[in-house]
């Protein structure tokens, strides 16, 4: 609606526009209700269940049937790129149905499947083993390559991306490292190294990490009974997910297997039993976990990678994505990182930034698979919880961005001084009673679930606290601190936590994250203990002014396995706690709690200014109706135009030029020169700070009636996505209230050149198709002045050549065209006149030939290059350089061009073409030099 409204402002007189807009609102509301009631329930995709047989195992001799589903966009032109969409641990193909439908609706073929050992698929769970799950996924790539609907880059090589979260994200990384056919990946909330995930160690020592028993136990339990629809299944069938259907020809449900191991492979089961018993892994267990770790293949990943990681995740914290990013980027592969306020412990409710994550994913796929859109920037985006909305009953999340990913060290640091002596702490036998910092799946919400009850056990923790901070600290990354410990057994396992303590004394542990530290070789006395650096889990948190920072060192935590023998340790920390900081640019502020406040504020402002508007409207209308008779027959006169913004930025310093009937005028200039700002003023989209623009003698102001005589394409096309291209053109013209006979639809459709695609929904259009439709829309009604900003953007060479002819033809019969473009060769061949702008001022204007000027060189096309070269050398020109099979570039050295041509003809050499060698591009560079601002127009 915003795109349509802006065009209505340009083509309708104010009284007519007011009536049309009022009527349109009613029509749209009624039409929406009727459409909602009667519109056919026809999704933009089709789907069918498949049973795909793959062969896995070290020798590739184990047959496994996978329960799959294949989605295709309903409206597609030719073959389409594909996405392998993998689910998380314990899920099935139904777990990702919503995402699959969204991707298919956007124009991708999507293959989802239930992983080996889950649901109705056969096989056992091998934790994304290269020999099993990854090898099977390679054969899914083969399956896609054989589909006639899927675009291929070569025989057997489909254009394909792999997208998945958690278990599916790990598969995306491992598959990309093993199969070079993968063109892009988007792994989210996944791991880098399972040995470091389940044997976590936060200190710089060689000791074995602390076993993460809570999450490991949940994983193992999920694998014990993961047959879809069976008792204990993590995803029972539901009507909405489609889990109740049975694929044609599907076998009976797989057997759950050994009751002790479920559907886990024997070596995976033994590794868990090994770790869960005493927390000390065998070498075979470490090797098995490493085998299923993307860390082993990062140097082989060539597919552009978007890594999305959650800041509310006690399973796979931000350190995992950081390690993946560094490993992949080291090979030169494009990598982008994004953090969001979610993860395995929450972050999918109201107020979170799931929309940003989905946008980044689609942007990544559209560019690297479809080839649409600009290359995604290197910017790093993240978010943090800013509060709670009582109205939406959800968290309020603010999003931020920085130019580049800063890693876990932030872009700066702040040191906080801690106070507290060395303190004794008791390790309980078998970790019982144990502190409760997090629960699998609820880590970040545990404090809420416990109703504010602290999870630390008296006698089992030491506290070190700062004074209230004087200014807010924007923490984003991994804090660090020095720790010393003494133990009568020579060993200690402790858990370091960082709390944010408000003025009332209430403490908050960010996302339930703790730093497990296992130390060996400890002295019995604390004064003999050597400090070790402890790196706390990365967090994103604002510590407000007046809050204190509390560091707790505890001996137990229910999420981890602790020593069975009771003991008393002594612990101390260094006085300096280093907090990584990061200050980003806000990119979103969905504070839903303020929606209704803002609505009321807008209403109050509207009432307050209504009286002022009524007075100003009459004065403005009088000024609009004034006609400068001198220019009443001139399409466009720009006089001393200036545009400055409130922050002091001057986009246009002083610009004056004229567009006469029959002229095609090119507006040229480097980025930041003021071209787009000038066009916005001409369309009434912004008011100038000085000067004015006249169209047929009428001053241009927002809503001026004279805008109906202008057609424009400025700042890109905008269409209603659910309507076809033809219906968009019809709706736009009907909204103007002008007779249909005046629209000249046939000419517009010829200009668009979309063929049968004109009847497809515009949401299916490529960028070039939308651009052509927008140009046709601008020409509806054959307006006397046509203003186009980068009209050839997204068009291929034949379409650009056709656009050149269209613009030349359009300027006949007394019409005129103003076109802004960065394609100087096109401007040279299309435009009669040019206006060159630099730093908000005109540096040259006039006929294109005059701006190009006389050239010391000419380019010749001749019938006999050797003979022509001899003649020209005898004539005394400065130089002769071959240019292709039949061309020469000649520096005439002052010799008249006519004499050059005559000499060649007398010698029997045919001259097919002679043009100046100097091009508009040469003149342009000579005029603006290196004086470009280096930034986009405002």
pLDDT: which is higher, 208 or 184: 184
Q: How far apart are CA 294 and CA 130, in angstroms?
A: 10
Give alpha helix (H) positions in 706-755. 725-736, 745-752
Q: What topology does CATH give the domain 45-402?
A: Rossmann fold (3.40.50)
pLDDT band of 934, cuts 50, 70, 90: very low
pLDDT band of 828, cuts 50, 70, 90: confident
The pLDDT of residue 606 is 58
**Cross-strand bridge partners of residue 690:** 642
φ and ψ at residue 431, rounded to 5 degrees: 65, 25
Q: Is the pLDDT of residue 375 over 50?
A: yes
Distances from the Cα of 616 to the Cαs of 18, 253, 550, 691, 699, in angstroms?
A: 17, 76, 60, 20, 16
- Flag the least confident range among 124-138, 434-448, 451-465: 434-448
Which of 140, 275, 264 shows the shortest CA–CA distance to 194? 275
| E runs forming strands in 567-626 | 567-573, 576-581, 585-588
Residue with tokens 């610009």: 655
Please name the residues in contact with 221: beta carbons below 8 A apart, sequence gap of 6 or more. none
* pLDDT tens for each residue of 384-437: 876 654 444 455 678 899 999 999 999 999 999 999 999 999 999 988 888 888
pLDDT band of 320, cuts 50, 70, 90: very high
| Strand order through the sheet with 335-340 | 45-56, 62-73, 109-113, 82-86, 160-165, 182-188, 305-310, 335-340, 380-389, 394-402, 585-588
Residue 158, token pair as written in the block: 């489909």
Which of 580, 243, 259, 180 shows the shortest CA–CA distance to 407? 580
Domain formed by 626-850, architecture: 3-Layer(aba) Sandwich (3.40)
Average pLDDT, the chain: 81
Residue 761, token pair as written in the block: 């929904």
At residue 712, the 3 state secondary structure works out as: strand
Residue 801: its H or E element: helix 797-810
Find which of 26-40, 155-169, 434-448 is predicted with most confidence, using mean pLDDT: 155-169
Q: How far apart are CA 255 and CA 827, in angstroms?
A: 71
At residue 184, the 3 state secondary structure works out as: strand
Residue 438: its H or E element: none
Burial (CB count <10 Å: 0-12, 13-18, 19+), residue 509:
buried
Q: How far apart are CA 482 and CA 536, in angstroms?
A: 11
Residue 832, token pair as written in the block: 């009669």
Q: What topology does CATH give the domain 407-587?
A: Jelly Rolls (2.60.120)
Segment 67-95 mean pLDDT: 94
**In three state form, how does the secondary structure of 279-329 look?**
CCCCHHHHHHHHHCCHHHCHHHCCCCEEEEEECCCCCCCHHHHHHHHHHHH
Q: Is the pLDDT of residue 643 over 70?
A: yes
**Cross-strand bridge partners of residue 581:** 412, 475
Common-topology check for domains 45-402 and 626-850: yes
pLDDT band of 853, cuts 50, 70, 90: low
Q: Does residue 643 contact residue 837 with C-beta atoms inside 8 Å?
A: no
Give the residue extent of every domain in the chain.
45-402, 407-587, 626-850, 854-917
Residue 396: its H or E element: strand 394-402
What DSSP letter does each residue of 8-55 carry, written as one string? HHHHS-HHHHHHHHHHHHHHHHHHHHHHHHHS----SEEEEEEEEEEE
Tell me the helix, strand and coil percentages in the chain, rounded to 5: 35, 30, 40
Residue 720, token pair as written in the block: 């209603």
How many helices (H) and strands (E) the chain has is answered by: 23, 42
- Flag the least confident range among 411-420, 436-445, 541-550, 778-787: 436-445
Q: Does residue 418 contact residue 464 with C-beta atoms inside 8 Å?
A: yes
The pLDDT of residue 932 is 45
Which of 532, 298, 236, 552 shows the shortest CA–CA distance to 418? 552
| E runs forming strands in 79-213 | 82-86, 109-113, 152-154, 157-158, 160-165, 182-188, 199-200, 210-211
The pLDDT of residue 41 is 52
- Flag the least confident range among 276-280, 335-339, 386-390, 538-542: 386-390
pLDDT: which is higher, 906 or 617: 906
Residue 572, token pair as written in the block: 């101390």
pLDDT band of 324, cuts 50, 70, 90: very high
Q: Is the pLDDT of residue 281 over 60?
A: yes
- Flag the least confident range among 396-405, 570-579, 840-849: 840-849
Segment 692-714 mean pLDDT: 81
Q: Does residue 804 contact residue 828 with C-beta atoms inside 8 Å?
A: no
What DSSP letter does each residue of 201-233 carry, written as one string? --BSSSS--EE-HHHHHHHHHHHHS-STTSTT-
pLDDT band of 56, cuts 50, 70, 90: very high
Cβ count near 215 (within 10 Å):
21
At residue 639, the 3 state secondary structure works out as: strand
The pLDDT of residue 461 is 96
Q: Does residue 202 contact residue 516 with C-beta atoms inside 8 Å?
A: yes
Which of 359, 273, 242, 349 shows the shortest CA–CA distance to 308? 359
CATH code reported for the domain at 854-917: 3.30.70.100
Q: How far apart are CA 798 and CA 634, in angstroms?
A: 33
């Amino acid at each position: 609606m915003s795109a349509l409204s802006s065009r209505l402002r340009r083509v309708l007189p104010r009284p007519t526009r007011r009536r049309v807009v009022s009527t349109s609102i009613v029509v749209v509301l009624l039409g929406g209700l009727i459409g909602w009631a009667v519109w056919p329930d026809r999704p933009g995709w089709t789907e069918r269940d498949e049973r795909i047989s793959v062969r896995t195992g070290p020798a590739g001799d184990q047959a496994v049937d996978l329960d799959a589903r294949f989605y295709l966009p309903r409206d597609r032109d030719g073959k389409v790129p594909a996405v392998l969409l993998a689910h998380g641990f314990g899920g099935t193909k139904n777990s990702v149905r919503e995402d699959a439908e969204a991707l298919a609706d956007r124009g991708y073929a999507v293959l989802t499947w239930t992983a080996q050992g889950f649901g109705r698929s056969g096989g056992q769970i091998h934790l994304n083993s290269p020999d099993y799950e990854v090898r099977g996924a390679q054969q899914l790539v083969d399956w896609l390559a054989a589909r006639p609907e899927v675009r291929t880059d070569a025989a057997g090589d489909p254009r394909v991306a792999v997208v998945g979260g958690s278990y599916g994200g790990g598969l995306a990384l491992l598959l990309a490292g093993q199969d070079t056919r993968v063109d892009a990946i988007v792994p989210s909330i996944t791991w880098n190294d399972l040995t470091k995930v389940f044997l976590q160690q936060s200190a710089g020592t060689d000791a074995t990490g602390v076993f993460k028993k809570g999450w490991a136990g949940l994983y193992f339990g999920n694998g014990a009974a993961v047959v879809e629809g069976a008792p204990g299944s993590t995803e029972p069938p539901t009507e909405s997910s489609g889990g109740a259907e049975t694929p044609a020809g599907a076998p009976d449900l797989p057997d759950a297997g050994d009751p002790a191991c479920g559907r886990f492979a024997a070596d995976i089961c033994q590794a868990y039993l090994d770790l869960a018993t005493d927390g000390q892994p065998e070498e075979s267990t470490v090797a098995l976990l490493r085998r299923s770790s993307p860390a082993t293949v990062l140097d082989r990943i060539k597919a552009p990678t978007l890594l999305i990681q959650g800041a509310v995740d006690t399973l796979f914290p931000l350190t995992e994505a950081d390690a993946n990013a560094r490993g992949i980027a080291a090979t030169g592969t494009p990598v982008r990182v994004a953090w969001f306020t979610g993860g395995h412990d929450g972050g999918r409710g109201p107020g979170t930034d799931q929309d940003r994550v989905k946008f980044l994913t689609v942007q990544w796929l559209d560019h690297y698979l479809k080839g649409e859109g600009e290359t995604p920037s290197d910017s790093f985006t993240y978010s943090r919880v800013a509060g709670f909305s009582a109205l939406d009953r959800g968290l309020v999340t603010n999003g931020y961005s920085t130019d580049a990913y800063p890693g876990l060290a932030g872009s700066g640091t702040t040191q906080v001084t801690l106070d507290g002596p060395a303190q004794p702490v008791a390790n309980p036998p078998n970790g019982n009673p144990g502190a409760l910092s997090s629960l699998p799946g609820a880590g970040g919400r545990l404090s809420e679930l416990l109703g504010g009850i602290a999870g630390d056990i008296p006698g089992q923790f030491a506290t070190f606290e700062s004074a209230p901070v004087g200014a807010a600290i924007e923490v984003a990354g991994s804090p660090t601190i020095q720790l010393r410990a003494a133990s009568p057994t020579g060993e200690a396992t402790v858990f370091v936590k960082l709390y944010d303590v408000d003025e009332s004394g209430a403490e908050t542990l960010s996302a339930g994250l703790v730093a497990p530290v296992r130390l060996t070789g400890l002295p019995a006395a604390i004064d003999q203990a050597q400090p070790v650096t402890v790196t706390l889990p990365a967090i994103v948190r604002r510590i407000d002014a007046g809050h204190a920072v509390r560091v707790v060192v505890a001996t137990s935590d229910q999420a981890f396995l602790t020593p069975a023998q009771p003991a008393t340790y002594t612990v101390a920390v260094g006085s300096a706690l280093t907090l990584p900081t990061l200050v980003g640019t806000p990119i979103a502020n969905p504070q839903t709690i303020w929606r209704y406040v803002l609505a009321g504020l807008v209403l109050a402002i509207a009432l307050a200014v209504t009286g002022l508007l009524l007075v100003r409207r009459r004065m403005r209308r009088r000024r609009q109706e004034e006609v400068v008779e001198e220019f009443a027959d001139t399409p466009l006169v720009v006089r001393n135009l200036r545009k400055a913004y409130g922050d002091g930025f001057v986009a246009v310093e002083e610009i004056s030029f004229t567009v006469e009937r029959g002229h095609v005028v090119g507006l040229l200039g480097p980025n930041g020169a003021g071209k787009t700002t000038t066009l916005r003023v001409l369309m009434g989209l912004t008011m100038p700070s000085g000067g004015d623009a006249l169209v047929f003698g009428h001053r241009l102001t927002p809503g001026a009636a004279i805008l109906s005589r202008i057609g424009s394409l400025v700042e890109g096309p905008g269409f209603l996505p659910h309507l076809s291209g033809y219906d968009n053109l019809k709706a736009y013209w009907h909204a103007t209230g002008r007779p249909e006979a005046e629209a000249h639809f046939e000419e517009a459709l010829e200009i668009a050149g979309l063929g049968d695609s004109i009847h497809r929904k515009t949401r299916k259009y490529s960028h070039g198709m939308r651009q052509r439709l927008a140009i046709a829309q601008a020409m509806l009604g054959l307006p006397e002045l046509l203003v186009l900003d980068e009209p050839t953007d997204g068009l291929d060479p034949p379409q650009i050549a056709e656009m050149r002819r269209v613009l030349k033809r359009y300027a006949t019969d007394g019409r005129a065209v103003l076109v802004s473009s960065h394609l100087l060769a096109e401007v040279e061949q299309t435009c009669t006149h040019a206006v060159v702008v630099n730093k908000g001022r005109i540096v040259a204007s006039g006929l294109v030939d005059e701006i190009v000027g006389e050239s010391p060189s000419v380019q010749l096309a001749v019938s006999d290059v050797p003979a022509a070269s001899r003649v020209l050398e005898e004539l005394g020109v400065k130089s002769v350089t071959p240019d292709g099979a039949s061309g020469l570039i000649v520096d005439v050295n002052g010799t008249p061009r006519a004499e050059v041509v005559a000499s060649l003809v007398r010698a029997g050499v045919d001259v097919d073409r002679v043009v100046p060698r100097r091009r508009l591009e040469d003149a342009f560079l000579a005029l603006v030099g290196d004086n470009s601002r280096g930034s986009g127009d405002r």
